[in-house]
Structure 1
Amino acid sequence: MLEIKSIDKPDERRDFPRGHLELVQMTGLVFARATFEPGWRWTESLRDIAGTDLCQVHHNGYVVEGRIRIRMEDGSEQEGGPGDAFVVTPGHDAWVVGDEPCVVFDFAGGMDAYAKAAGS
Structure 2
Amino acid sequence: MASAIEVRRFERPDELLDMKDHSRISIVKLTDGTAGMHAVFEPGWTWEADEKPLLGSPDSCPMRHTGYCISGRLVVRMMDTGTETHISTGDFFEIPPGHDANVEGHDRAELILFAPPEHQH
Question: What letter matches 1:54 in structure 2?
Answer: S
Equivalent pairs counted in the alignment come to 112
Match in the other structure for 1:5: 8
1:74-113 matches, cutoff 5 A: 74-109=81-116, 110=119, 112-113=120-121
Structure 1 portions without partners, runs of 5+: 114-120
* Alignment RMSD (CA, Å): 1.4
% identity of equivalent residues: 33
Give the C-alpha shift of residue 68 in structure 1: 0.4
Match of 1:34 among 32, 39, 42: 39
Q: 4+ residue runs of structure 1 moved beyond 3 angstroms?
A: none
Match of 1:24 among 19, 25, 28: 28
Question: What letter matches 1:20 in structure 2?
Answer: R
Question: What letter matches 1:76 in structure 2?
Answer: T
Q: Deviations over 1:62-120 (max 9, x none)?
A: 1001100100021111101111011011000100001111001000243x42xxxxxxx
In the superposition, the TM-score normalised over structure 2's length comes to 0.85
Structure 2 portions without partners, runs of 5+: none
Give the C-alpha shift of residue 46 in structure 1: 1.6
- Secondary structure of the 2:10 match is coil
Larger Rg: 2
Residues of 2 paired with 1:49 and 1:82: CA distance?
26
- Secondary structure of the 1:56 match is coil
- Secondary structure of the 1:47 match is helix
In the superposition, the TM-score normalised over structure 1's length comes to 0.86
- Secondary structure of the 1:49 match is helix
